[in-house]
A and B are shown apart, each in its own frame.
Chain A
């Protein structure tokens, strides 16, 4: 029901937004702002980066809207743009993965079953790439093929990043069971 209402709302503002009408653009922005920011914030490490991703996403959306054919859902299209922008931002800030790696090595000795983190903290502690793969695959529902394409990597890369991330999450959350 909510989906139908949303589709009707999209139908109403899309033609005007395509023409660059400010009110329609604002309606589109308001409809997806929260979801775009949420996705960007989960992939990027800082609030500032996520805000930049929101800006870049909506610039691209407004620019490309006349070419949106409506084959899939509008949110699906916006989400793909947002994911690509967030991943682009990660690539630009690649040095952070190196920082994470060093941080991991420094903390390796402290990884014990007794040291538990909450899920939010554990997710934050993953490397940028692993966190992005976890979020895109497990939460947003992208396939490994789609993730590989967006990241410019192979499907095996996406799969191994996901497995590695879950192994770490399991350890950090204290979910390991001796067998």
Chain B
């Protein structure tokens, strides 16, 4: 069997055994060259993990906070406007569908309204 490819070497590091990995594993246990390659791979990954973390060069919190507040304000205005529109639409719908032709009084006088409220 040829030496393991990089993909096969990486596969051997993954948890669980993929189909087809058994043959690669068998070769690996008896091949010093592939073991050395796997060691170099592990070292490279360890070095990647040890690279110094880049640090932010400027404080962006004030900007983020400002954007967040502005966005929340806009959302509230939008929700308020949407609420008013929804209310207006329901009133309009109710007026359009009112039972004017079912023999109910078309106009309510002040006395009738007072009676309705007290009852």
Contacts and interface: CB of A to CB of B under 8 A. Distances in A.
B54 A42 contact: yes
Interface stretch (B20-28, B42-50, B87-95, B109-117): B42-50
A38 B49 contact: no
Given A25-B68, A59-B71, A166 B60 contact: no
B104 interface: no
A113 interface: no
Given A163-B5, A177-B37, A51 B65 contact: no
Interface residues of B, number: 33
Interface residues of A, number: 43
Contacts of A33: 56, 60-61
Interface stretch (A4-12, A69-77, A93-101, A167-175): A167-175
A29 B68 CA distance: 13
B48 A55 contact: no
B41 interface: yes
B33 interface: yes
Interface in B5-64: 5-7, 10-11, 14, 33, 36-37, 40-41, 44-45, 47-49, 51, 53-58, 60-61, 63-64
Contact of A51 (B5, B6, B60, B71): B60
A12 B1 CA distance: 58
B44 A170 contact: yes
Contacts of A34: 53, 55-56
Contacts of B68: 20, 25, 59, 62-63
B65 A166 contact: no
Given A170-B44, A175-B40, A29 B61 contact: yes
A120 B63 contact: no
A119 B40 CA distance: 13
B44 A166 contact: yes
6 contacts: A22-B65, A37-B56, A63-B71, A120-B51, A164-B6, A170-B40
Task: List the 7 closest A-B pairs by CB distance, nearest first.
Answer: A38-B53, A163-B7, A41-B54, A37-B56, A163-B6, A58-B64, A138-B45
Given A59-B64, A62-B68, A177-B37, 17 more contacts: A20-B72, A25-B65, A37-B55, A38-B53, A38-B55, A58-B60, A58-B61, A63-B71, A134-B48, A139-B49, A160-B7, A163-B7, A166-B44, A170-B6, A173-B44, A175-B40, A179-B3
Interface of A: 20, 22, 25-26, 29-30, 33-35, 37-38, 41-42, 47, 50-51, 54-55, 58-59, 62-63, 119-120, 123, 134-135, 138-139, 144, 159-160, 162-164, 166-167, 169-170, 173, 175, 177, 179
